[in-house]
Structure 1
Amino acid sequence: MRAPVRSVRSLGAVLLLVVLAAGCGNTPLRSPDASGGGLARYDLRGASLVVGGGATTELRLLCQLTIAAVQAASGAATDECGKDGGTDVHAPTGLSDVDTGWASLRTLGPRGLPDPDGAPADPPPDLDAIRATDAARGIAWLPPTAFGDTDVVVARAPGPIGVTGTDLCVAPEAVPGSAVAPGSAALTAAYGLAPPVVVPDVNAVLVGVATGRCTAGLVPGSSGRVPALGLVVADDVRRALDGGPAGPRGYAPVLRTGLLAGHPPTADVLGEITRRLDGPAMRGMVREVEVDGRDPRDVARRWLTGQGLIAAG
């Protein structure tokens, strides 16, 4: 009479294991936090940041760079990269839990908020004035990236921008008189170029240069398709692109001042990123996400590892 009891108990144990295994199979494994590397010398123990991102690949990458950097400095970071960091930090704490994010100074309006459609600011923002106004609202701005997020001229071979005879492809928003700075007017004037060939959009500019329809093209400096198509950024030897609006045009970290006051090393941690992030680095990471289909989190951590800022994660 006891054998059936043992059989029932055994069957029950097996079923329990099956149920537990099924439950574990449906629970995603949490990937390890970033650790080690050069950022480990900063102490963010006790800091807990909610990090926002944005609608663009660049802002999502910056969000993931921040999360890994904070973790490597022994802090905790919550991924809210689907939210707009620059906008959510400006919202009252009762309406937003985002502590820090990034803002593109190229699209920043006079009140410190990015244009919702991503349109370039015209005139460019006065970051010092915005910083002073936001300080009274409990919001701090850190120095922007070394990468200026400006337009560049691309070609099929390295060298200076061509002179008379160069066919320059531009998108409609880059023609003279548009808000995009500096547009094509400064280029045509500085190099004696023929009127630009206007094509439907930036992708058409890149394809036009890659296929030889145009010898050069004006595109955003962070475009990941530049390296993907085997194109290079031409040297602006006459500094025509420097004739755009004055002021910073990179990406700047923005965070709540209470967080910064409680954990001052946060500025040093983010500064390690802004000092290193140049045009080739951003274009390469954007390419990995938009062209190669890789996860922004993995791409960001691979770059940080290559910079010696983190060792694992």
Structure 2
Amino acid sequence: MRLLPTAPAPAVPAVVVPLVLLAVVVLGGCGATPLRSPDASGGLFAGRADLRGAGYVVGGGPRTPLRLLCQMTIAAVQAAGGNATDECGKVGGADVRQVGESDVDTGWASLRTLGPDGSPTVDGEPADPPADLAVVRARDAARGVTWLPPTAFGDTDVVVARTPGPLSGLAASPVPTTLCAPPRAVPGTAATPGTGAVLAAYGPWTTTVLPMDTAAVLAGVATGRCTAGIVPGSSGRVPALGLAVLDDDRGALTGAPPGPRGYAPLLRTGLLEGRPAMAGLLGEITRRLDGPAMRGMVREVEVDGRDPRDVARRWLLAQGLIATG
């Protein structure tokens, strides 16, 4: 592996003033209250639980995937007849764990960025070493917080290229290749195996490794400077640039580290015990959500500038989890 380095305004006639003021009030009022989609209703969520009379403060953020999951949770509660308070600007999982200090009842955590004590990394980078979810779950159970099973897909790094295919096929190419990756992935760590694990699993491989930030990696692959690149699996710029996620057929990135990854919902245990069907609603999300769906939704928010609330509800509608909203 080779590493390269004014005048007063004219008076307005009195007869005009009331009309001007009326226009300002009407237009100003419209601008101050943007149109929002109605509460979610119907769908599979409505049939899975009855949350009438229940209320939840839902948190989630600051990263886009967590904001999307926060909005999905709000829609799920509404569709089941409950009341949801939107606190999607908060950290979510971390706030749920602050029993007695935060009013957030339920939220999500990224296991990719979860440190050994269960707190997310400050910079949003993968935690090294990663958390042992079983240990964190047991510790939080004692403080009245329940962790539910995470998403079926793990939010690991992926290898992207301009054309789809298996990673082994790219490695077998007789033409020298360039593999680009963020510095943290060169050569990699136990939490994010990186280039070292890729080259070891698919070698011998005639390749040059170029370290650069994630945005540059994506641009490099799109322009051809990089044959392939290692980037976060939830990056919305992957579909925006028309790139393909290669099949890691030897599990270099998806096979380690061991243990659950992805996104996990958690909520205050007392609320779950009072309405245990809430776990089933969140389970419908974790079972259905996959990498391509998350990347597509992140693209809509971060690249296309759409509201996470609307993006999340379109996905729920497509899945039949809600009927309106």
Identify the residue that residue 267 of structure 2 maps to in structure 1.
Answer: 255
Q: Aligned pair in 2 of structure 1 residues 208, 36: CA closer, same or farther (>3 Å)? A: same
Identity of aligned residues (%): 72
Equivalent residue in structure 1 for 2:171, among 163, 172, 177 = 163
Cα pair 2:54 2:83 within 8 Å, conserved: yes
Identify the residue that residue 130 of structure 2 maps to in structure 1.
Answer: 124
Give the Å deviation of 1:169.
Answer: 0.9
Equivalent residue in structure 2 for 1:88, among 92, 95, 100 = 95
Trace 1:68-107 onto structure 2 (pairs within 5 A): 68-93=75-100, 95-107=101-113
Code of the aligned partner of 1:149 = D
Cα pair 1:157 1:232 within 8 Å, conserved: yes
In the alignment, is residue 220 of structure 1 matched against residue 228 of structure 2? no
How large is the Cα RMSD of the aligned pairs?
2.2
Q: How far does the alpha carbon of each residue in 1:174-198 deviate from its partner, in whole angstroms, 9 at most, with x for none?
A: 1025465111101111222345432
In the alignment, is residue 141 of structure 1 matched against residue 152 of structure 2? no
Give the Å deviation of 1:290.
Answer: 0.7
In the alignment, is residue 230 of structure 1 matched against residue 236 of structure 2? no
Identify the residue that residue 266 of structure 1 maps to in structure 2.
Answer: 278
Identify the residue that residue 6 of structure 1 maps to in structure 2.
Answer: none
Code of the aligned partner of 1:67 = I
Identify the residue that residue 69 of structure 2 maps to in structure 1.
Answer: 62
Identify the residue that residue 58 of structure 2 maps to in structure 1.
Answer: 51
Identify the residue that residue 222 of structure 2 maps to in structure 1.
Answer: 210
Identify the residue that residue 186 of structure 2 maps to in structure 1.
Answer: 175
Cα pair 2:152 2:289 within 8 Å, conserved: yes
Identify the residue that residue 303 of structure 1 maps to in structure 2.
Answer: 315
Q: Distance in 1 between matches of 2:194 and 2:21?
A: 67
Cα pair 1:85 1:102 within 8 Å, conserved: yes
**What are structure 2's unaligned runs of at least 5 residues?**
1-18
In the alignment, is residue 186 of structure 1 matched against residue 197 of structure 2? yes
Give the Å deviation of 1:92.
Answer: 2.8
Q: Aligned pair in 2 of structure 1 residues 18, 55: CA closer, same or farther (>3 Å)? A: closer
Give the Å deviation of 1:48.
Answer: 0.5
Code of the aligned partner of 1:141 = W
Q: Aligned pair in 2 of structure 1 residues 68, 15: CA closer, same or farther (>3 Å)? A: same
Range with greater deviation from structure 2 (188-197 or 145-154): 188-197
Range with greater deviation from structure 2 (111-120 or 299-308): 111-120
Identify the residue that residue 8 of structure 2 maps to in structure 1.
Answer: none
Give the Å deviation of 1:242.
Answer: 3.4
In the alignment, is residue 36 of structure 1 matched against residue 42 of structure 2? yes
Q: Secondary structure at the match of 1:32?
A: coil
Question: Segments of 4+ in structure 1 off by > 4 A?
Answer: 14-24, 26-30, 177-180
Give the Å deviation of 1:311.
Answer: 1.0
In the alignment, is residue 246 of structure 1 matched against residue 258 of structure 2? yes
Q: Secondary structure at the match of 1:98?
A: coil
Q: Aligned pair in 2 of structure 1 residues 227, 84: CA closer, same or farther (>3 Å)? A: same
In the alignment, is residue 154 of structure 1 matched against residue 166 of structure 2? no
Identify the residue that residue 114 of structure 1 maps to in structure 2.
Answer: 120
Q: How far does the alpha carbon of each residue in 1:113-167 deviate from its partner, in whole angstroms, 9 at most, with x for none?
A: 1112213122222111111111110000000001200011111111111115332
Q: Aligned pair in 2 of structure 1 residues 97, 167: CA closer, same or farther (>3 Å)? A: same
Q: Aligned pair in 2 of structure 1 residues 158, 259: CA closer, same or farther (>3 Å)? A: same
Q: Aligned pair in 2 of structure 1 residues 196, 30: CA closer, same or farther (>3 Å)? A: same
Cα pair 2:130 2:191 within 8 Å, conserved: no
Cα pair 2:181 2:210 within 8 Å, conserved: yes
Aligned residues: 300
Cα pair 1:121 1:179 within 8 Å, conserved: no
Cα pair 1:184 1:196 within 8 Å, conserved: no
Identify the residue that residue 3 of structure 1 maps to in structure 2.
Answer: none
Q: How far does the alpha carbon of each residue in 1:219-267 deviate from its partner, in whole angstroms, 9 at most, with x for none?
A: 1110111111111111112222234211111100011101101111110
TM norm structure 2:
0.86
Q: Distance in 2 between matches of 1:274 and 1:289?
A: 20
